[in-house]
């Protein structure tokens, strides 16, 4: 393969990269490192805005592969129309499984056990004891049962949950048990004590967690979103948490970042973290291993892993 490879890390900081490729370092700066028309393999900068990520795409007339460092690819979707047919879009499946699953469990436990209230009590020197719900013996529904959803279940099992209900775009069977289709949600939601949303953002999932969805949850249920903010209808969620019927723990919101004066900040029973499911110490080594493996396949002309779609 000929052409430049654009990396969001200096090439000498990525062990195992194949020789013979021309590496260019670009992490979203205003100036491009070279002519985008010469780029054959574009690794999208991590944790940058969609505007930054798609900016070079209209000029990447020779690109073969667009590789994200995220599991979701919604931040580059708007730029795909500029690419010629046949360009492959690959994601970072496997890179964020551990970190995102850790945060999903953290948010679940923190919300159920009332950790935010303890923190507020500590700030005021108040001993806020009381009876709190446990995760043990609860039914947890995972909405979006892919690699991250499976990693979340790995971490739920030692906490002695009563049952894990798995839901994905289409039904299938796994070693752990059945995965239900989205169409089954109406009958499954009333059983759930905790719903963990980790589904990607697509036209099918945008607003999926809306008024009808939330109304089917039992009183006192907990909604955890570590997927994408627009999967949840914010207005509908506010209506449910404002009256205290359900709880919510959100790593992602709509809008995002959440404006300072947004009512979600002050809504009762809502715990918010600032989209930190992926950026942890686990990210860099896993991301660099993925890039080394993908670029080795690319240099050798072998099929790439994590193919999401082919343009055209």
By annotation, the residues acting in catalysis are 275
Angstrom distance (rounded) from CA 179 to CA 153:
12
Give me the DSSP letters along 164-227.
EEEEESS-EEETTEEEEEGGGHHHHGGG-SEEEE-PPP-TTTTT-BSHHHHHTSPTT-EEEE-S
Angstrom distance (rounded) from CA 194 to CA 221:
6
Angstrom distance (rounded) from CA 120 to CA 125:
9
**Alpha-helical runs (H) found in the chain:** 50-54, 97-112, 115-123, 147-156, 185-188, 211-215, 234-242, 283-300
């Amino acid at each position: 393969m000929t052409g430049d490879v654009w990396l969001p890390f200096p090439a000498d900081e990525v062990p195992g990269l194949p020789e013979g490729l021309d590496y260019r370092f670009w992490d979203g700066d205003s100036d491009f490192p070279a002519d985008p028309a010469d780029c054959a393999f574009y690794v999208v900068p991590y944790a940058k805005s969609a505007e930054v990520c798609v900016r070079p795409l209209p000029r990447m007339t020779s690109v073969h592969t667009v590789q994200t460092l995220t599991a979701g690819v919604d931040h580059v979707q708007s730029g795909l129309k500029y690419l010629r047919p046949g360009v492959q879009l690959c994601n970072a499946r496997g890179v964020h499984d551990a970190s995102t699953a850790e945060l999903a469990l953290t948010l679940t436990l923190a919300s159920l056990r009332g950790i935010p209230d303890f923190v507020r009590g500590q700030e005021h020197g108040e001993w806020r004891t009381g009876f709190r719900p446990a995760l043990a013996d609860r039914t947890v529904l995972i909405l979006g049962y892919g690699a991250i959803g499976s990693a979340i279940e790995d971490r739920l099992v030692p906490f002695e949950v009563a049952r894990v209900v798995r839901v994905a775009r289409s039904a299938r069977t796994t070693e752990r048990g059945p995965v239900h289709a989205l169409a089954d949600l109406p009958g499954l939601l009333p059983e759930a004590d905790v719903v963990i949303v980790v589904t990607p953002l697509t036209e099918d999932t945008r607003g999926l967690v809306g008024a009808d969805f939330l109304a089917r949850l039992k009183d006192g249920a907990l909604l955890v979103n570590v997927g994408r903010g627009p999967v949840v209808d914010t207005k509908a969620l506010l209506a449910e948490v404002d009256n205290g019927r359900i709880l919510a723990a959100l790593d992602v919101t709509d809008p995002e970042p959440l404006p300072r004066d947004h009512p979600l900040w002050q809504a009762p029973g809502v715990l918010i973290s600032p989209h930190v499911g992926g950026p942890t110490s686990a990210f860099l080594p896993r991301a660099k291993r993925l890039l080394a493996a993908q670029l080795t396949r690319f240099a050798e002309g072998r099929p790439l892993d994590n193919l999401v779609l082919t343009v055209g």
